[in-house]
Structure 1
Amino acid sequence: MPGGSTGCRRHPIPESFLSTQSQLKNGDIPMKKPPATHWLPDDGLTGTLVGRAWVPGPVPGPSVIVLRLDGVYDLSAHFATMSDLLDAADPVAQVRAAPGRRVGSIDQLMHDSGVQSDDPQVLRLLAPCDLQVIKAAGVTFAASLIERVIEEQARGDAAQADAVRRQVVELLGGDLAAIRPGSPQAMQLKALLIDKGLWSQYLEVGIGPDAEVFTKAPVLSSVGSGAQIGIHPGSAWNNPEPEIVLAVNSRGDTVGASLGNDVNLRDFEGRSALLLGKAKDNNASCAIGPFIRLFDASYSLDDVRRCTVSLQVEGLDGFALQGSSSMAQISRDPLDLVAQTLGAHHQYPDGVMLFLGTLFAPTQDRGQPGSGFTHQLGDVVHISSPQLGRLVNDVNHCDRVAPWTFGLRAFYANLSARGLRVQTADSTAP
């Protein structure tokens, strides 16, 4: 796999991005979403940026797209699904060779994606994945490992978190980031923590041999940049989780990366790990985007390994939160997480989008001292990385976000109505 970005021509971001303005309005929540301007990577269109968009037409529907210097191109005549594209022998070469059909300017796509609309004749971004299973690796950073232990010890009560945090950090001590999961050193630490009565299911997956890999969201349920993300109305302690998301095809090849928000309900999961599904999987609780950057001469897995993912939260109350997650501090290599997700033990014939976890767990007080962070309605969440761009979403309750209705049957009916045929890697009957 080519590494680094040395020697690649840099294509600037179109100048008009610096002045595009958009505002999001939804019900009685006065959204303060900023202009949908800088969603592209810092190096503009240098890389191979593919995604999915709702494309207007006689039969409007979701299409695979690519960004080029002169606009947005619909590739659905060549690849009916993103799974088809990522399963190609050489996705980058095939994207570059496919003429596609121009459907609008990048300015238009960015602007219209930042405005909530149910008009089927409006071009707007979708999550860049379709048939892939949405998986997520948890507790892959030492800092987030400690926070999971705190949630468990506090029984999901945010009011107890500050006191529990001091106790847990004092007992754990040292630098957990220096411990390789599954190593003899990790097993010695496990024995010590069991002796102290502090062993936890989170420590097991954090420093043990087996990673936590769970299903984050159903196929086709993820939202893209510009959409609202959903928080369960029964949650009083929740947070965004800014992560790198790997695009993995059916053969297990890692062919690109995107950004993701693994929205989490800390109070639900803290009460019981068996509530993980309820804490993680709700309407609009998974955001991915804005695009998938395919691995090519300008961008590789090594760039993923050394990148930093930044988070910014802006509240209607004037609250501001900033943080970052350095992939250099991940405790398991991304390819190890891929290998623990699919292989001889488990196949995914349409591929996987794999969240890699986050170092960042917000603890900044938003209310009373010691109360920690939780979302409020109308928060605007920015997740960014220099080579992947910016994923921007605003927060609402999941029962007030537009319901998810476009599932697999609707997707295939739409493809059929547009005369698009899905490719199959293996037509052998089960």
Structure 2
Amino acid sequence: MRYYQLREEGTPHLAVETDETLYDLTAARPQLQTFEGLLETAAITDDAIETLTEGLLEDAAVRSMDVLENGAVTAPISSGEIWAAGVTYRISEEARQAESETPDMYIDVYESDRPEVFFKATPERTVGPKAPVGIRADSEWDVPEPELGVVLAGEDIVGYTVGNDMSSRSIEGENPLYLPQAKVYDKCCAIGPGIRSADSIEDPHDLEMWMTISRDGEVLYDDSTNTGKMVRSVEELVDCYTAHNAVPDVSVLLTGTSLVPDEDFTLEEGDEIEIGLEDIGTLSNTVVEV
């Protein structure tokens, strides 16, 4: 099942796609308007979210799939926090070595027992599909980072989404202590278009991932990879994030990138980024300067 957050005429609606049909769950239960609300109900009833959903489908209104393309889809969650993991793929380790004046620290992280996990964004800094993502005006080298996002209810994995961990490579490369400024700023993160339930993903470590970047109609970058190239497991990253940490009721953990444009590439205003993950969805955003 894929869950989508819709907003039409100012009203939030929770929709679910199953068997190639889109159902409006809010039409069945007006008080159920968000994915967070579904998780809260599941916690109270001690049911799986798919069990709750199946019980609502008979009363849910069927919607046209066109609604997923007309701008009504927003970020699939609107509360909690977004965290991210870094140096989880070999190419990411190599890229961060290349940009940094202290490169050895990245190979140390790649090979160490403890992964790199860092705070990425609040809901106010996060955008959904078809919304603009930001590049900092004080940065000279900016790239998107396509990532598998793990959706958590407390410490439990409940779903997966597509994430874009926007990054200033020039700021981070100048000094690793500048990582928060390179990663956390206005419109620094995008997630969506929806959430694929964890029970419906057979293996998150075997998913095709791809990214294209276009400028004025010309494709400047087009490449693909597989989450199987990740050196750490999803469970390992989640354990590190949740250990000794007061995690919110709902959060997203981005798991690192294996798609890195060449060193002579930097994003510009108006660029179009499209990130796809097998069985999960395709996230599209344009670029603005912030």
SS of the counterpart of 2:201? coil
- Asked if 1:61 corresponds to 2:14, the answer is no
Equivalent of 1:395, from 265, 287, 290?
Answer: 287
Which residue matches 1:221? 125
The answer on whether the counterparts of 1:262 and 1:285 sit within 8 Å (CA) in structure 2 is yes
Which residue matches 1:211? 115
Q: How does 1:230-269 map to 2 (within 5 A)?
A: 230-250=134-154, 252-269=155-172
Q: Percent identity?
A: 29
**Structure-1 separation of matches of 2:167 and 2:179:** 9
**Structure-2 separation of matches of 1:106 and 1:213:** 36
Deviations 1:333-386 (A, max 9, x none): 11000000114x1232412201000112211xxxxxxx6111122111110122
Q: How does 1:255-404 map to 2 (within 5 A)?
A: 255-296=158-199, 298-300=200-202, 302=203, 304-316=204-216, 318-343=218-243, 345-363=244-262, 372-398=264-290
In structure 2, do the counterparts of structure 1 residues 103 and 281 end up closer, same or farther at CA, with 3 Å as the change threshold?
A: farther
The answer on whether the counterparts of 1:82 and 1:131 sit within 8 Å (CA) in structure 2 is no
- Asked if 1:199 corresponds to 2:104, the answer is yes
How far off its partner does 1:67 sit?
2.9
How far off its partner does 1:101 sit?
5.2
Aligned residue pairs total 281
The answer on whether the counterparts of 2:21 and 2:62 sit within 8 Å (CA) in structure 1 is no
Which residue matches 2:24? 73
SS of the counterpart of 2:67? helix
In structure 2, do the counterparts of structure 1 residues 219 and 225 end up closer, same or farther at CA, with 3 Å as the change threshold?
A: closer
Equivalent of 1:109, from 56, 61, 68?
Answer: 68
How far off its partner does 1:317 sit?
6.9
TM-score normalized with structure 2 length: 0.89
Q: RMSD of aligned C-alpha atoms?
A: 2.1
**Structure 2, unaligned runs of 5 or more:** none
**Structure 1, unaligned runs of 5 or more:** 1-47, 114-123, 156-197, 364-370, 399-430
Deviations 1:220-256 (A, max 9, x none): 5321111111111222211110110011111x11111
Deviations 1:93-152 (A, max 9, x none): 111212465485220331x21xxxxxxxxxx11111122310101111111111111111
SS of the counterpart of 2:235? helix
TM-score normalized with structure 1 length: 0.61
The answer on whether the counterparts of 1:131 and 1:220 sit within 8 Å (CA) in structure 2 is no
SS of the counterpart of 1:305? coil
**Structure-2 separation of matches of 1:354 and 1:139:** 14
The list of structure 1 runs, each at least 4 consecutive aligned residues, that deviate by more than 6 angstroms after superposition, is none
How far off its partner does 1:277 sit?
1.6
In our comparison, the structure showing a higher alpha carbon Rg is 1
The answer on whether the counterparts of 1:51 and 1:129 sit within 8 Å (CA) in structure 2 is no
Q: How does 1:149-164 map to 2 (within 5 A)?
A: 149-153=97-101
Which residue matches 2:38? 85
